[in-house]
Chain A
């Protein structure tokens, strides 16, 4: 597995300018092709972690390795050819006037000929299902569409690693779901390695391979979602909660003593668990 690791963060400590500890004792390895989530309440240090991993914050103790090279020592050009961060607010990111101009910015800076630029923009927009919006003005887009354009802007540069800060924040329930589906598709079909910061516990277990829970700047637990999201009191301790469906089954199991074997995290799993457990009883 070691050779497949693309991004590895070992952050001993990072303090904000006012002296408070933002992050401490972080160990996070991201393998090629992984879809990994950093779950945490607001103020837990998710954004700071992503910014350090992306090489935007440099004055921390520890090291971040990108394909084995320390990010702090790499030229920005070499970092940003492989990896890019999508900010939470799309207005912080989209500075051009039309969708095409914005997505073309990266490829043009990489020195591609105009034909190649157009081709890259086209395929990036296709990846985020925004093909027909190329000529639109940025300000005419909805919030979710803007977020997609942000992602396309990085995809057009051919990034293998995407860091996303709260990609589903501010979207309506359907939009959240579609965004997660889009990311899954990029991960599976385009082989993009994804690290996303989020606090939406209901969505995460549906899509992510691996989860790291961040609380007050420290990693409190990590692993596949079903190992990490277990008990409501532990989640409350890190200012999070279980997915609603998991909480329901957990209570039925522990408080009403119903004979559930596992605590499922998604509706599909829960349905199967209920049918198996209760259906077995009825027979």
Chain B
């Protein structure tokens, strides 16, 4: 259904083993720099660096392309939008279907600026996602004092996401085998049934999980997540890295 898996890449890569809190901090700092950047160089640098690291970690190229497909598509749209509608200085004109469509210089520059920003930001977050497990990421967010309630429900969501995805696929194929998607109206109805079945499943599952957890002493809050102590070397490395990138960003 989606290019979405729990497959972890580069389990032995130093980046995977880096403290998730430092990874999150560095990623968010760099993300802020990328999106507040008005030039081209820095986002491009971030994109190349993070893309390279992803490949270095052994993320299959195909998966990487799939991950970038949607944002890059949007980036292209933004460039075209800006190219044709923003600016004064004509760059070229195309004659299509009796219409003159003019591309503008400022629009192109503006659009490319946004497109570069998108690539940089997406590769940063992709690298974070590929090198960090969801549990680690939530642990890091909890350390940064994101409310516990949000962390807890995110953990439940992640755990049961795959159970529900599998269920959805089973129901979908069962419906398809019986021509549930032959014809538009029937397809829509089948789809509604599928979604409804998932909601019912969510209710029943949550009830059972709660019972099972109460049996094991659940009183409304999950035990605190534990973090291993910061390693000074990693902290210094991360801070230096962010600082260096900050200096490059200022240039």
Contacts and interface: CB of A to CB of B under 8 A. Distances in A.
Direct A–B contact in complex, judged by CB atoms less than 8 Å apart: yes
Contacts, number: 70
13 contacts: A56-B211, A77-B217, A89-B208, A91-B160, A91-B205, A95-B155, A95-B156, A98-B135, A105-B213, A105-B217, A106-B216, A109-B216, A109-B218
Nearest to A110: B217
B223 interface: yes
| Dominant SS among interface residues on chain B | helix
Nearest to B214: A76
B163 interface: yes
Nearest to A51: B211
Which 3 residue pairs of A and B lie closest in terms of their CB atoms, listed nearest first?
Answer: A109-B217, A92-B208, A106-B216
B158 interface: yes
A96 B135 CA distance: 9
A110 B219 CA distance: 11
A252 to B, nearest CB: 44
Interface string B148-164: 00000001101110110
B159 A105 contact: no
Nearest to B136: A97
Contacts of A166: none
Contacts of A114: 226
Contacts of B213: 95, 105
Contact of A105 (B133, B160, B162, B216): B216
A91 B163 contact: yes
Interface centre among B155, B208, B215 (most CB of A within 10 A): B215
Nearest to A96: B159
B223 A154 contact: no
A91 B201 CA distance: 12
Interface of A: 54, 56, 76-77, 80, 84-85, 87, 89, 91-93, 95-98, 101, 104-106, 108-110, 114, 137-139, 153-154, 157
B212 A87 contact: yes
A95 B212 contact: yes
A84 B213 CA distance: 11
Interface residues on B, range: 20 to 34
A75 B135 CA distance: 32
B6 interface: yes
Contacts of A104: 223
A247 to B, nearest CB: 35
Contact of B158 (A93, A97, A105, A106): A97
A154 B216 contact: yes
B158 to A, nearest CB: 7
B211 to A, nearest CB: 6
B223 A105 contact: yes
Given A91-B163, A97-B135, A106 B217 contact: yes
Contacts of A76: 214-215
B209 interface: yes
A70 B6 CA distance: 46
B134 interface: yes
Nearest to B209: A95
Interface centre among A96, A98, A157 (most CB of B within 10 A): A96
B6 A139 contact: yes
A93 to B, nearest CB: 4
Interface string B181-208: 0000000000000000000000001001
Nearest to A105: B216
Given A101-B135, A105-B216, A109-B217, 15 more contacts: A56-B211, A76-B215, A80-B215, A84-B215, A84-B216, A87-B208, A95-B213, A97-B159, A98-B135, A105-B217, A139-B6, A139-B159, A154-B215, A154-B216, A157-B216
Contact of B208 (A93, A105, A153): A93
A97 B215 contact: no
Contacts of A110: 217
Interface string B130-152: 00011100000000000000000
Contacts of B133: 97
Nearest to B162: A139
Contacts of A80: 214-217
Contacts of A97: 133-135, 155, 158-159
B40 to A, nearest CB: 40
Contacts of B159: 95-97, 138-139
B205 A137 contact: no
Contact of B212 (A92, A98, A101, A109): A92
Interface centre among A77, A91, A95, A108 (most CB of B within 10 A): A95
Contact of B219 (A54, A91, A109, A139): A109
Interface in B208-236: 208-209, 211-219, 222-223, 226
Contacts of A153: 216
Nearest to B222: A105
A85 B216 CA distance: 10
Nearest to A153: B216
